[in-house]
Amino acid sequence: MIVVCNHDSYFVQKKDAFSVMGFLPQQKIIVALRMHAYRAFAGQVDEITRMGKSTILESLMRFCGAIESIYTAKYLRKPTNMDLQRLLKKAEMRGFPRMIGSIDCMHWTWKNCPSAWQGTHGDKK
């Protein structure tokens, strides 16, 4: 949370034109996290947070922009050859040889898969 607050001054509590303190940085970040976690839209979280829809949407956009700016270089980049080799080795140790991040590896038997989901991910192109 501190990294996001240091990255964007929007997430610093300020006084408005009437010298009333604005929302806390935690409130702005939590509303963005709630929208992501619950797949909610601004109208669903405005009563809980007591924020206007425009503030909620601004918080969401600023939060996503900050996360992208801060973490793109390290975590949201294309994997290097060394990363791929490490992932291939880890997947092979788990019984999935030559597989990189694919959940569509259906030659593997899903013995513990709930019967309602059985066959829902097979034959995807």
Burial of 60 (0-12, 13-18, 19+ CB in 10 A): buried
pLDDT tens for 21-44 read: 999 999 999 999 999 888 888 888
The one-letter code for the residue type at 71 is Y
Query: H or E element: which one contains 35?
Result: helix 25-38
What global pTM score does this model have? 0.63
Domain boundaries along the sequence of the chain: 2-71, 81-117
Q: Model confidence over 64-96: pLDDT tens digits?
A: 999 999 998 888 788 889 988 988 898 888 877
Q: Which two tokens stand for residue 80?
A: 């290097």
Q: State how far the Cα of 50 lies from the Cα of 97, in Å rounded to an integer.
A: 51
